[in-house]
Amino acid sequence: MKVSPSLLSADFGNILPDIEMINRSESDYLHLDVMDGVFVPNISFGFPVMKAVARRCTKPLDVHLMIVEPDKWISQVRDLGAEIMNVHQEACTHLHSVVQRIHQAGMKAGVTINPATPVNTLVDIIEDVDLVLVMSVNPGFGGQPFITHSLKKVAELAELKRITGSKAIIEVDGGVNKATGRQLAEAGAEMLVAGSYVFGASDPEEAIRSLKRL
Ligand code: DX5
Ligand code: ZN
């Protein structure tokens, strides 16, 4: 299982030890949640903060943009050195074009779907993307309970991959812990985001390891 801990649950008053923990850990990525107060009812952090984090972080960055018009920021996300740029399907009128532009910028393109967005909206884009991020909570906040229906969506997505031959990685974000992570792994998830489960743990590196082993 690939693991992408979400910095949203880190200690923003003393962030360096949390980044160093990620660097030491078995995590595959660092997940960065950008919120604009328009697409989601919260504001998190922007490019100045992410640039400082990127300078200290040795893991590849998995940037999750919960913002309107994410295509305006492709070059800035590229300049961070991000490996994955995730945009919401619901935020992109011209999703195919946005995916192409993310690729032209040299990044992996991820498309994210909210809990009420059906998997079948991805039928005509699944072969063009590197990753699909299934939201298993409504985006905007860490620490929310896992929406069980997401398991069905992950299984549907795994089936869509099988039918189309798409190589898109199935990533899941929201309410992930060891128990929900195990169910997600059985449903076909290949990469898990975890915020509060990791940073709220007494041993965050062990929490990451417990998801890696799923
Ligand atoms: C929610 C964010 C998540 C969040 C997950 O809008 O996209 O990445 O940090 O937090 P947990 O793992 O606590 O649900
Ligand atoms: Zn996220």
* pTM: predicted TM-score of the whole model, two decimal places: 0.98
CA angle 52, 44, 75 (to 5 degrees): 55
What pLDDT is attached to residue 205?
Answer: 98
pLDDT tens across 100-125, in order?
999 999 999 999 999 999 999 999 99
With a 6 Å cutoff on the Cβ, whether 150 touches ligand 1 is no
With a 6 Å cutoff on the Cβ, whether 181 touches ligand 1 is no
What pLDDT is attached to residue 129?
Answer: 98
Question: How confident is the model over 57-64, as a mean pLDDT?
Answer: 98
CATH of 2-212, one of 1.10.10.60, 3.40.50.11030, 3.20.20.70, 3.90.550.10: 3.20.20.70
Cross-strand pairs, 88: 112
Secondary structure letter of residue 43 according to DSSP: B
What pLDDT is attached to residue 81?
Answer: 98
Q: Where are the domains of the chain?
A: 2-212
